[in-house]
Structure 1
Amino acid sequence: MKTDNDCHSHSDQKKRDFVSERAKIIPPSGIRRFFDLASQMENVISLGVGEPDYSTPWHICDAAITSIEQGHTAYTSNAGMESLRCELSRFLQDHYQVEYNPVNEMIITTGVSEGLDIVIRAIVNPGDEVLVVDPSYVSYSPCVTMAGGIPVPLPCTEKDRFRLTPDVLMEHITPQSKVLVLNFPNNPTGGVMRREDLEGIADVAIDHDLLILSDEVYAELTYEGKHTATASIEGLWERTVTLSGFSKAFAMTGWRLGYVCAPPEITAATLKIHQYVMLSSPTMSQYAALEALKHGEDAMREMIREYHLRRNLFVDGLNRIGLTCHTPEGAFYAFPSVKGTGLTDYEFAERLITEAGVAVVPGSVFGSGGVGHIRCSYAVSRQELSEAIRRMDEFIRSLP
C-alpha cells in the first residue's frame, strides 16, 4: 500500500522530456493565431484564412451522400479509387497537357497537406538541402525539418513580381541541394510563374540534378492567361512531383482530398508511406471529387470570375489608401506592403484587428521575404472587401 511519503518521493523524481527536438523547433502556425483572434471578437472582417467563401456545390455533396446511401463506406485501394484516378488523369491532360498513368503515377491523398508530408519523407534524407521559394505557404519548411532535411529559402521579391529567377536559384545551390519546392500560383503573394519563367528554372534544375516538388493547388485560379504546369516543361516531367487538390478550385476544403502525381519510382516510395500513415483517403470524399471533375467546371469558372472581380476591387482599394500592392495573377490573396506606415507587419496586423476589426496575416510568417507585408484573402464578399478597405483607411489615417 502506498503512503503519502511514497507518492511525494515519486513526484520528486526527475521526469524525462518526452517531446522531440524536432517538434520543439517547429513554430506554431502564424496563420491560425490571427484566425483564432478573429473568432473570439465580434464584428471582425476576416481576411486571414485561405478558404473559399463558397459552399461546395450541391451536386458534389449529393454524390457523396448517394455513395453513403449505397453502402460505399469501406476503404478504397491505397492509391484511391481507380475511377477517380482515371478521371483526374483526363482532367490534367485536358487542362495542363501533362500525362500521368492512373495505375502507377497517381495517389489520392487526404488533402494536399498529407501529400506534401509523405512526398518529402519519401525523397529527403537527413542532411539533404531543400530549396523553398520565399515567401510561401507555412508548411513547407517544417515538413522538411521533420524529415531531417535542411530548408533553404529562395527570396522572391516584389521587383520580380514574386517570381523565382534562375539567378536566385543558382546563388543558393550547393552540393547538398536535392529538392526545389515551387508554389505557384503562390500563397501568399499571388505570384505566377509563366512558361518562360519555368523554362529558365528548368535549365538550372537539369544542370544541377534537382527534383522539383511543385504545389499547384491554385492552378485553376489563374487570372491572366493560363496556368503552366511545371511537369509540362520540356525535360521536367521525369524530375517533377506535382501536388494539388480539390479544396480551392471546387470549394472543397473540408472534404480533405488532394493528390500526388510523380514518376513511378517516386510514386511507389510515397505510396508506402501513405499506406502506413493514412491507408486511404475518405471514400465519400473521393466520390464527391469524381463528381466535381465530371460536372463541376461551370461552378468553378463562375467562382473564378467572381474572384477576379474581387481582386480588382480590393487591390485598387489598397493602392488608393496608400498600401502599395502589386496585382496578383493567381490564387486569392493580396500582399500589400505596410512599410510606409512605420509599423512592422506584426504590429500592423495586431493593431488592425484590435483597433479596426479587420483580420489579416503578417507577411513574415511566410518567410523573411514577407517582412513588411500583410496577406489579405479576398475570398470574401465584395461588400466585406469594401468595408475592410474603409476600416483600413481609417486605421492608417489614425496613425501618427
Structure 2
Amino acid sequence: MTEDALKYEVLASDGAARRGRLHTAHGTAETPAFMTVGTAGTVKGLLPENVADTGAEIVLGNTYHLMLRPTAERIAELGGLHKFMNWNKPILTDSGGYQVMSLSELRKITEEGVAFRSHLDGSRHNLTPERAMDIQCLLDSNITMVLDECTPYPAEPDVAADSMRRSMRWAQRCKDAFIKRPGYGLFGIVQGSVYPDLRQESAEALQEIGFDGYAVGGLAVGEGQEVMFEVLDATMPHLTRERPRYLMGVGKPSDIVGAVQRGIDMFDCVLPTRSGRTGQGFTRRGPINIRNARHQADPRPIDPDCGCKTCSSYSRAYVHHLVKANEMLGPILLTIHNLHYYQELMAGLRDAIEKGELDAFVSAFHRQQAAGDLPPL
C-alpha cells in the first residue's frame, strides 16, 4: 500500500474472520464495522452527536442524491461533506450506481456510463466513471466507490457476464481518474451475480487493477441468505488479505454475523434506521414490533441488556405510545436503540475474534435470537 492510500491492518484473526483497523485522514474505524447510512448527508432523525454516541465511527453518503441536491459543487464550496453535515469522522460515499440502475425507464446504460433523468425534477444527467470520481472528490469522502452496474437478480449467465465485465472496464477508468491523497482510498466492487466463476473473474480483474479495498456488490437483492453465503464462500478466497473487504447493503444481524465468519470487514444497511422509523426494534432476543398492544403497558426497556439512551431512560410503553400517536420522538428513540444494538453487535464480534472465541459468540447469538422476545408481564 502506498503512502497516499488508506492504511488497513489486520490485528487478529479467528478462522476466516478478521479483526482490523482502518486509518483515514479523518480518523480510524475498528473492523468488523457497521457503517451507518446517511444518504443525503444526514442519518434520518438524528444529530451527528447522537450517531457518534451509538458507537458509529464511519457513515455513508450517497453520490446520486447529493449530486442532484444540493450538488457536489455546492458542498465543496461549503467546505466538503464532513463540514457540511458536521461529522468529523470517516465518510464513505457510494458511487450512485445502485440508485441510478433502479430508475428503470428513466435511465440508459452505455459503455460511456449511465444517462438518466432525475427523480426530483426530470432533469437530464450523465454519470460516467470519471464523473463519479469527480463528485466524490468534491464531497471529500475518505472512501470512494467505483461506478459499477448493479446486475439485476435473477440474471442469466451471459447477462451477468456482460454486466460484470462492463463494471470491470468502468473500474479501470475510475482508477485512472481517481486523485490520490493521503488518508483517502478507492474501493473496487466485485460483481458477477450468483455465478462463482464470474465472481472469481471479477475479483481477479479488480486486483489486477489494484484498489485500496474491495467490496462485494450485487447481493442482498432477493437471492436469500443461503445463496448470499454461497457467493461469499466462492468469492472471499480470491480477495487479498491485506485489504479491507466490504459487503454492500447488508444487512440483518444474522447476515452480518455469517459474513464476518467468512472474512467480511465492513457493512452498511438502511435496516436499523428504516426499521426504527416503522416501529421495529432489534434486540438480543430478536426483533420486536413496538406497535403491538403487548407493549402498551410494559415498563421494561426495549432490551434490558442494552445500555443505549433509549433503553436507560424510556420504557416500551412510552415508545409504543409515541409511535401509535405518530410523535416523531418515537422513531428517533427506536433509531438510536437500533444503531446502538448494531454497534454493540460489531463490538462483540471484534472482541470474540481477538479472543479466538468467535464460534462460541456465534452460537450464543443464534441461541438468543431463537429464544424470542421477553414473555409478557
Task: Please say whether Structure 1 and Structure 2 have the same fold, judged by a TM-score greater than 0.5.
Answer: no
Q: Which has the higher contact order (CA 8 A, sep 6+)?
A: 1
Q: TM-score, normalised by structure 2?
A: 0.29
Higher strand content, 1 or 2: 2
Q: TM-score, normalised by structure 1?
A: 0.28
Higher helix content, 1 or 2: 1
